[in-house]
Structure 1
């Protein structure tokens, strides 16, 4: 097993132990707005529960709203813990695209490096007509977050179509 495979397996195991269901690895080479010191990304995804999705088109969407808030907080914790793990245990640089950083550093809640871009670059899905990442397993029902890193990783095959 080479260094890229070892690093990818180690961080994937860690992130999944924290609650991530989907983990993908991507090179960000050639993408605008990517800080040069972070050429790679790790995408983390957690599926949205079916029961919550069923309430989107009902009069009472509180189940969906609460599920989305809960997933956002869970993902935030996972990417921050992942950043710490990469820095402290693996000795590489990392930057979690946490809610606080996206809002502070990127003027609003839209990151300059969209999670769906790291998703397509990692081969975990494609952009659908709905402008969301579509996963073969979960469709558009994934909540996503990203960690930027300089850690050598085994990247997926990008989906460009």
Structure 2
């Protein structure tokens, strides 16, 4: 975690430029792993936590080599689950693998636009991306919002 500096409606010189801003509760910024580059190392979901800096819940992973990292929590995982990242991982919630290994029609979140550059799409709470088509190094996806009606 890192400290998060408050702007309070002012610039670097301290003069207020936007009125009625400021205050609020003190926050610490949780550093989220959007790259998921620890391939073929099992990670156990230790906790699922509230993050005041974003709308989605986050999960703390304990890797088998002793490292700890935060990720955005996908729906369908719970504390105690073991997840993987890499080419050999299964297609189940929490696992991270390349898009060419995922079947068409699968719902995704935290999708990278370019491999290794970090997740850019589907990062807010409730956001989902459906993989529509694959071919010739290009992928088609539906970025629309997901609605659940009763």
TM-score norm. by structure 1 comes to 0.22
TM-score norm. by structure 2 comes to 0.23
Over alpha carbons, which structure has the higher Rg? 2
Greater helix percent: which structure?
1
Greater strand percent: which structure?
2
